[in-house]
Amino acid sequence: MKKDQIMNPVYRKRLWVHRIGITLSFMAMAIGIFFLMWILFTLIIKGFGALNLAMFTETTPAPGSDGGGLINPIVGSLLMVGAATAISTPIGILAGIYLAEYGEESWFAQMTRFVTDIMLSAPSIVIGLFVYAIYVANVRHFSGWAGSFAISLIAIPVVVRTTDNMLNLVPTSLREAAFALGAPRWKVATMVRLRAVKAGVVTGVLLALARISGETAPLLFTALNNQFFSANMNAPMANLPVVIYQFAMSPYDNWRSLAWGGALLITFSVLGLNILSRTLFNQKIHH
């Protein structure tokens, strides 16, 4: 580095601004990581202490009783999240294909993209109230299906946006080659573009699955809860987020212990889905 460049006041000012910015950014990152590690450490310490065989074989205990487990909310969460995934995946992928193909040509596609962006940032409790008003209030009972509909409305925008973004990464030359061979537009969209980014689309589905796995507010207004084991999706159904919410605030020690164990299960499930989406299905598109 030249001496006159070092002595240049403009350069020195920019250098100090750069150093201050880097320092503040590093401090912000360190603070965020510190609190994240603190939360994870507390969760691991208290959550692992609650893990036992009874948690996966027994139903939630009655007030004041000892023991008990979380088999009914675990099964309930799996059923509702599975149903929500089955609902949101085809709708989200098809809508994403439509936006990628006609997003710049149709006013309806542009409006759909705008609504999707709004739904991505909509509070989950609002979605829960919406499903309660249009479904639960009309059928006059809570149910697992209502909970699935609520969380599927949260998952659909994630799948739509991911599919749309991934399809737009497909090189134009690949589409033009398919058109040159005489392939119709629908076949180019599904058999060429979608196949080229299928790993990215699967990643979007996994991220949506991770997003809805820990949602509590929509389920409070739709699925409610059930102290007993039930696989009937047309009746109130136990689920891990609501059980954790109720047990964590209870005066019973075993309930609070089960809440920590359930929180650990959800956290590691979401963590595993995020790791899987970023590693196993990581695919780069080569131009």
Over range 111-128, report the average pLDDT: 90
Q: Among positive and negative, which fits the CA dihedral 17, 22, 24, 25? A: positive
- Higher-scoring residue by pLDDT: 115, 285: 115
Residue 276 scores a pLDDT above 60: yes
- Which run of H or of E encompasses 26? helix 9-48
Over range 165-174, report the average pLDDT: 87
Reported as a single tens digit per residue, the pLDDT across 192-227 is 888 888 888 888 898 899 889 989 999 999 998 988
Contact 77, 142 (CB under 8 A): no
Reported as a single tens digit per residue, the pLDDT across 68-103 is 899 999 999 999 999 999 999 999 999 999 998 887
Residue 56 scores a pLDDT above 50: yes
How many residues comprise the chain?
287
pLDDT of residue 148: 96
Rounded to whole angstroms, the Cα distance separating 75 from 98 reads 35
Long-range contacts of 169-176 (CB under 8 A, 24+ apart): 169/197, 169/200, 169/285, 170/196, 170/197, 170/285, 171/285, 171/287
Residue 285 scores a pLDDT above 60: no
Rounded to whole angstroms, the Cα distance separating 105 from 149 reads 31
pLDDT of residue 3: 54
pLDDT of residue 286: 43
Over range 107-126, report the average pLDDT: 88
- Higher-scoring residue by pLDDT: 22, 103: 22
Angle formed by the axes of helices 240-248 and 71-102, nearest 10°: 130
- Burial state string for 111-148 with b = 16 or more CB within 10 A and e = fewer than 16: ebbeebeebeeeebeebbbbbbeebbeeeeebbbbbbb
Rounded to whole angstroms, the Cα distance separating 216 from 242 reads 6
How much is the pTM? Answer: 0.84
